[in-house]
């Protein structure tokens, strides 16, 4: 029984962190059918932004979160103007953008390495202590904060996409790029907004991940791969599906780590997801729940 509770608690925590980054990646895919390989480095940048805000500038800790979110959004804009902007109308633009954003990610990651060194830092924006026990399993305040932050941002994103003008434009572009263009939606502006939004979420995801581990320049590589796996499992571009798939992947990883050994978490996820994809090549939730055709 304790095992089960342990799996659910740590699975939900992992799942919440994956969901934030995966939803961003999925949003980008939904809008222009491309993977943003710089997404992982944006996560790392987000974590470093809090570090800069607190240690270098001396902001109070709670200001560092909005600081990092704004920073993330600006980086997203830069990613747009450095890659997508030039490539949308070229042949094989999907592959070109993947490789270009891969290059951008390399530059960011190694830039961080150059500036901060490979030395791991602790995330200043964190809470300590145990909130209580469920059965015999301790639940940290940190886990609760992660759940709350993820839930609040997910709900906010949902409201943004369904209730606001900008959100409706994003969904229109995701459904039909040409149609949206004909209806007068400024497609290029929507792309910038999508990358800003996705990068903002990635920055927060990076901060949350760094509260459980440490801040290092290459910390985004592993979460990026997991976010990638999550959106493939969900069905590319399916945003709600990405949320469910992230929780599922978190639970699978927590099960493998708890019942077997921590280092087997990742291989087990891969094997499970590959089998799932061979069974359903379009992802578990397919494109039914997305707006895309």
Q: Which residues bind other proteins (CB under 8 A)?
A: 35, 82-83, 86-100, 102-107, 109-111, 113-114, 221, 225, 228-229, 232, 236, 263, 266-267, 270-271, 273-274, 277-278, 281
- Minimum CB separation of residue 291 from other proteins in Å reads 17
Q: Which residues pair with 140 in a beta bridge?
A: 130
Q: Which is nearer to other proteins, 129 or 279 (CB)?
A: 279
Q: Is the Cβ of residue 109 or residue 253 nearer to other proteins in the bound state?
A: 109
Q: Provide the minimum distance between the beta carbon of 213 and other proteins in the complex, in angstroms, as a whole number.
A: 18
- Least separation in angstroms between CB 17 and other proteins: 20
Label residues 115-137 b or e (16+ Cβ within 10 Å = b). Answer: ebeeeebebbbbeeeeeeeeeeb
Least Å from the CB of residue 115 to other proteins: 10
Q: Which is nearer to other proteins, 146 or 229 (CB)?
A: 229
Q: Which is nearer to other proteins, 231 or 247 (CB)?
A: 231
**Least distance CB 62 / other proteins (angstroms):** 33
Name which of 67 and 191 has its Cβ closer to other proteins. 191
Q: Provide, rounded to whole angstroms, the least separation between the CB of residue 152 and other proteins.
A: 30
Identity of the residue, 32 or 147, whose beta carbon is nearer to other proteins in the bound complex? 32
């Amino acid at each position: 029984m304790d095992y089960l509770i342990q799996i659910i608690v740590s699975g939900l925590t992992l799942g919440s962190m994956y969901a934030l980054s995966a939803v961003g990646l999925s949003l980008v895919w939904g809008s222009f059918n491309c993977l943003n390989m710089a997404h992982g480095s944006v996560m790392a940048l987000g974590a470093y932004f809090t570090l800069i805000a607190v240690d270098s500038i001396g902001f109070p800790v709670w200001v560092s979160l909005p600081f990092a979110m704004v920073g993330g959004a600006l980086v997203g804009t830069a990613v747009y103007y450095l890659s997508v902007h030039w490539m949308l109308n070229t042949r094989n633009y999907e592959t070109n953008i993947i490789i270009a954003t891969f290059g951008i990610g390399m530059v960011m990651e190694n830039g961080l390495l150059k500036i901060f060194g490979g030395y791991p830092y602790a995330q200043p924006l964190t809470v300590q202590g145990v909130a209580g026990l469920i059965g015999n399993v301790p639940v940290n305040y940190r886990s609760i904060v992660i759940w709350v932050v993820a839930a609040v941002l997910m709900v906010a994103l949902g409201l943004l996409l369904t209730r606001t003008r900008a959100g409706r434009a994003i969904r229109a572009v995701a459904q039909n790029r040409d149609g949206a263009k004909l209806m007068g939606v400024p497609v290029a502006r929507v792309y910038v907004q999508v990358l800003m939004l996705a990068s903002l979420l990635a920055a927060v995801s990076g901060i949350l991940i760094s509260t459980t581990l440490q801040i290092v320049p290459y910390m985004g590589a592993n979460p990026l791969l997991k976010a990638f796996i999550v959106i493939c499992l969900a069905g590319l571009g399916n945003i709600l599906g990405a949320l469910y798939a992230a929780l599922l992947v978190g639970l699978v990883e927590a099960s493998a780590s708890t019942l077997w050994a921590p280092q087997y978490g990742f291989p087990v996820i891969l094997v499970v997801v590959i089998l799932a994809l061979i069974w359903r090549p379009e992802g578990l939730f397919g494109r039914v729940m997305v707006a895309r055709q």
